[in-house]
Chains A and B, each alone.
Chain A
């Protein structure tokens, strides 16, 4: 039997699939957030140097990682939409942008909260924080450009091009730790073993997974709204049970 790989690349079929998937992602995200916060606040021991303050990394690190991953995924979808002219890819890209911006903001905010007791200042102009700020600007630029073009097709394509250009910046963020020698502490999690306590690792990875599931659930919800908005004049939308109510 030939499998139709592209079945769910049509908004018509994806709308239903997304609707079925959202509860699963949302519920597992909530459960994992609960577990992660429990391990992070109760199980994980106090850090020898940083005291209790370090616990903010359980949201700070996942948020930073998500903001970067989501930008790459957004740029990937944008590129797909630009190259193959698929409608859903562009919708996915514009659905991801607000969530990515939110994670970038959380990362900056929690970083500032961590910086005050650790460095004695809310903000340090070190390379990684600055790059994260630039990433937030890139998200905002994407959203602003998309919002200011009335024709959705042109908006999708223009924003897609901007996302691809901006994605050049994301590797710079990642490697900035190595390039510039500044205040921010170097990578603790390395492929060759780590200096972290096991419970801290568990809390961090649980929170990261929870953030992923949350992001997927929210993006799917948003893309459903975008599909409804864009395709409102088609027959399949008017035939949806939730439209007849």
Chain B
């Protein structure tokens, strides 16, 4: 089981590394969207400091939507996905591997980039730390919920926009708790409840989304 998981992750990572431009576009998009906000709302640091968690989270949400379309489409087009479904191994496990690889390629770089962008918004160190923990817990959920949408819209015309339409509403709780944690920190409240809820969502997503995505793939492929 674990071997299979590692194999799928390794395969997807190798494929992603062969096309580094795709990984970079997501990251550049994230940086650009975040950098546009001060230009749009003005350079006052007090306001930017307040907005920073929300802006970073929304930008991360949008950036993670960008790469979702590629999650299954390449495998779908060259027939690999069909072989994966025929394989005796559990499809949920394969899907979990693909989700993990997708997060490492498109989610993790955002988390690593976030502190630098946070400094641009003059976020204090402690809040920055909470933001990173929140993103670390939250971005995998985005990849996992997104995978369901990617599976449902596989091979459809205009799949990209539709995918965002389906997935974004489902990601709202993650956004609320992620930004809520930072706000709680800055107003001197305990951050534990928000982070615990994010952790709970992560566990829930980890248990259910691979299976649901596998079902969605079966619906799309029949």
Which residues of A are interface residues toward B (Cβ below 8 A)? 130, 134, 137-138, 140-141, 144-145, 148-149, 154, 157-158, 161-162, 165-166, 169, 172
* Chain B contact surface mostly: helix
Q: Which of these binds chain A: B83-91, B113-121, B132-140, B168-176?
A: B168-176
Least distance between B219 CB and chain A CB atoms (Å): 4
A157 — which chain B residues lie within 8 A by C-beta? 219
Does B169 lie within 8 Å of A138, measured CB to CB? Answer: yes
Give the size range of B's interface with the partner. Answer: 20 to 34
CB pairs A–B below 8 angstroms (13 shown): A130-B172, A134-B169, A137-B169, A138-B169, A140-B165, A141-B169, A144-B162, A144-B165, A158-B152, A161-B148, A162-B152, A165-B148, A169-B170
Q: Which of A134, A138, A145, A169 meets B152, CB within 8 Å? A: A145
* Residues of chain B within 8 A of A138, CB atoms compared: 169
Q: In the assembled complex, how far is the CB of residue A97 from the closest CB belonging to chain B, in whole angstroms?
A: 14
Contacts of A149 in B (CB 8 A): 156
Tell me how far the C-beta of A174 lies from the nearest C-beta in chain B, rounded to whole angstroms: 14
- The yes or no answer to B157 lying at the interface (CB within 8 A) is yes
| With A145-B153, A145-B162 as contacts: A165 and B170 at CB distance below 8 Å | yes
The chain B residue sitting closest to A164, CB to CB, is B212
Counting CB contacts under 8 A, is B44 at the interface? Answer: no
CA distance A141 to B165 in the complex (A): 6
Smallest CB separation, A184 vs chain B (Å): 16
Cα A158 to Cα B153 in complex, Å, equals 8
Q: Does B158 contact A (CB under 8 A)?
A: yes
**Residue B3 CB within 8 A of the other chain:** no
Contacts of A130 in B (CB 8 A): 172
Query: Which residue of the partner chain B has the closest CB to A180?
Result: B176
Q: A161-B216, A165-B148, A172-B173 are in contact. List 9 more A-B contacts (CB 8 A).
A: A134-B169, A134-B172, A137-B168, A141-B165, A144-B165, A145-B162, A145-B166, A154-B219, A161-B212
Q: Note all chain B residues with C-beta closer than 8 A to A137.
A: 165, 168-169
A137 to B220, CA, bound (A): 22
Given the complex, which residues of B lie within 8 Å of A169, measured CB to CB?
169-170
Is A148 within 8 A of B158, CB to CB? yes
B215 adjacent to chain A (CB < 8 Å): yes
Does A154 contact B222, Cβ atoms closer than 8 Å? yes
A141 to B216, CA, bound (A): 15
In the complex, A216 Cα to B183 Cα: how many Å?
A: 45
With A and B bound together, what is the CA distance between A149 and B162 in angstroms?
A: 11
Q: Which residues of B contact A (CB under 8 A)?
A: 148, 152-153, 156-158, 162, 165-166, 168-170, 172-173, 212, 215-216, 219-220, 222
A141 / chain B contacts, CB cutoff of 8 Å: 165-166, 169
Across chains A and B, which 6 residue pairs bring their CB atoms closest together, nearest first?
Answer: A137-B169, A157-B219, A141-B166, A158-B152, A134-B169, A141-B165
Q: Looking at chain A's contact residues, is the secondary structure mostly helix, strand, loop, or mixed? A: helix
Chain B min CB distance to A244 (Å):
37
Taking the closest CB of chain A, its distance from the CB of B79, in whole angstroms, is: 19
Shortest Cβ distance from residue A68 to the other chain B in the assembled complex, whole angstroms = 15
Q: Is B169 touching A158 in the complex (CB atoms < 8 A)?
A: no
Instruction: Please determine whether A148 and B162 come into contact, CB atoms closer than 8 angstroms.
Output: yes
B165 touches A158 (CB 8 A): no
Q: Which residues of A contact B162 (CB under 8 A)?
A: 144-145, 148
**In the complex, A165 Cα to B219 Cα: how many Å?**
15
A134 CA / B216 CA spacing, docked (Å)? 22
- A158 close to B216 (CB less than 8 A): yes
Cβ of A148: which chain B residues have Cβ within 8 Å of it? Answer: 153, 156-158, 162
Instruction: Tell me how far the C-beta of B173 lies from the nearest C-beta in chain A, rounded to whole angstroms.
Output: 7
A11 to chain B, nearest CB (A): 21
Q: How far is the CB of A171 from chain B (nearest CB, A)?
A: 12
Instruction: Determine how close the nearest CB of chain B comes to the CB of A238; give it in whole angstroms.
Output: 29
Of B148, B219, B222, most A-chain CB atoms within 10 Å: B219
Would you give the shortest CB distance from B12 to chain A, in whole angstroms?
Answer: 24
Contacts of B216 in A (CB 8 A): 158, 161
Question: How far, in Å, is A199 (CB) from chain B's closest CB?
Answer: 38
